[in-house]
Amino acid sequence: MRSLREKLRELLLGGVTPEKLALSLAVGLVLGVFPALGWTTLLCTAAAWVLRLNLPAIQLVNWLTAPLQLALLIPFIRCGEWLFGVPASALSVETIVSLIQADVMGAIAMLWWATMRAIVAWMLAGGAAGALLYAALVAPLRRMAGEAR
C-alpha cells in the first residue's frame, strides 16, 4: 500500500499546485464541520467548482471530518447562544439525531434558530481556522512537490 505522502505527490503531479491542494484541504476541513447536518458534501462540491479546487481532496477531507462535525456541533451551538445572549439549551448530539430520525421537518423547525446561531459562530471561527490551516499546509506541500520533481 502506498503511503499518504506518495498519494499526495501523485495529486501534485497530476497538475494540482501545492497552493490549490492546501486550499482544497483547508476548505474541506472548514466546510466539513459546518454545523448543519447533511449540507457539507454540497457545500464542498460548490466550493470546489467555484474556486476550481481539487474535488477528490476536498471531499476526502470533508468525509474524514464527519466525526469532528458531530463533536463540534454542540460547541458551535453554545458559542452561538453566547454570541446572541440566548440562554443555553438542553440540546445534545443524541437529542438532535433523535429529533431528525423521528421527524426531519419538525427537527428543522425546532432547531432552526439554534442552527442559525451555530452557523454564525462557525463563520467567525472558520475564516481564521481556514487561513491558519492553509498557511500551515502550503510550505510542506511545496516541499513535497519539489521532492517529487
Tens of pLDDT, residue by residue over 81-101, are 999 999 999 898 899 889 989
Contact residues for 44 (Cβ-Cβ < 8 A; gap 6+) = 27, 28, 31, 32, 58, 59, 62
Lowest mean pLDDT among 7-11, 37-41, 116-120, 126-130: 7-11
Contact residues for 144 (Cβ-Cβ < 8 A; gap 6+) = 5, 8, 9, 12, 18
pTM, 2 dp: 0.84
Domain boundaries, the chain: 4-148
Q: Read off the pLDDT of each residue in 7-32 and give the average, rounded to a whole number.
A: 82
> In the predicted model, is pLDDT for residue 103 greater than 60?
yes
d(CA 121, CA 79): 6
> In the predicted model, is pLDDT for residue 11 greater than 70?
no
Please give the pLDDT value at position 7: 73
For the chain, give the secondary structure using H, E and C. Answer: CCCHHHHHHHHHHCCCCHHHHHHHHHHHHHHHCCCCCCCHHHHHHHHHHHHCCCHHHHHHHHHHCHHHHHHHHHHHHHHHHHHHCCCCCCCCHHHHHHHHHHCHHHHHHHHHHHHHHHHHHHHHHHHHHHHHHHHHHHHHHHHHHHHHC
